[in-house]
Structure 1
Amino acid sequence: MGVMKLFSSLISIVKGFSRLNAYRNRKCHWDVPKGHLAVYVGEQEKRRFVVPISCLEQPLFQKLLRESEEEFGFDHSMGGITLSCEEDAFFQLTSILNS
């Protein structure tokens, strides 16, 4: 799948998740702010993080998304995208993207 097609698909998924989260969590502390998406990270117990959608433009994050799509697909009952990495690796990735 080309990068632009993948990016376009991910934007559609993010918009769908944003609408779903807004509907399901109107009175809940789980609301995902506009311009962000929820991701689940961890080997055994998945931990939820909210990241800016600007991460989708980063090649390292795109690689992680491709690997995660192969492992999990993009249809998740938890209402976010499950990433195939450990929390420590995710923290390292986000610190690289933030620098």
Structure 2
Amino acid sequence: MGMGIIKITGAKQKQKKKGSSGATDSPKKGHFAVYVGEMHKRYVIPLSTLNHPLFRDLLRWAEEEFGFDNSEGGLKIPCSEDYFEGLVSLISSS
């Protein structure tokens, strides 16, 4: 089973809900969004990524950098986009 990574170039980019005329920023079922890098690019990744030890290490790093009280909203990952994409690629190949 391959884990895909979906990069959304703008946080304002919307996904249409099936059977609905409205739009939502919510990731599809079984996925979650994180914001990576200085420009806080949005990535939508599978929830199963949370089970991997390397991703847990990345979350600990994010906790040390930002803490749990994030009034700006969204889960921010304090690394470069290249590092994040490489990590997710490595996780999906294991």
Q: TM-score, normalised by structure 1?
A: 0.65
Max radius of gyration: which structure? 2
Q: Identify the structure with the greater strand proportion.
A: 2
Distance 1:79 1:50, change over 3 A: farther
Match of 2:68 in 1: 74
Match of 2:79 in 1: 85
Partner Cα separation in structure 2 for residue 76 and residue 38 of structure 1 = 15
Write the deviation string for residues 2-50 of structure 1: whole angstroms up to 9, x where unpaired: xxxxxxxxxxxxxxxxxxxxxxxx93352211111110001x2110011
Partner Cα separation in structure 2 for residue 52 and residue 75 of structure 1 = 24
Structure 1 segments (4+ residues) deviating >3 Å: 74-79
Code of the aligned partner of 1:40:
Y
Distance 1:75 1:28, change over 3 A: farther
2:33 to 26, 31, 38: 38
Structure 1 gap segments, 5+ residues each: 1-25
Deviates more, 1:87-96 or 1:67-76: 67-76
2:90 to 84, 91, 96: 96
Structure 2 gap segments, 5+ residues each: 1-20
Aligned length: 73
Task: Name the % identity.
Answer: 49
Partner Cα separation in structure 1 for residue 46 and residue 72 of structure 2 = 18
Partner Cα separation in structure 2 for residue 28 and residue 75 of structure 1 = 28
Q: Identify the structure with the greater helix proportion.
A: 1
Code of the aligned partner of 2:67:
G
Partner Cα separation in structure 1 for residue 72 and residue 33 of structure 2 = 9
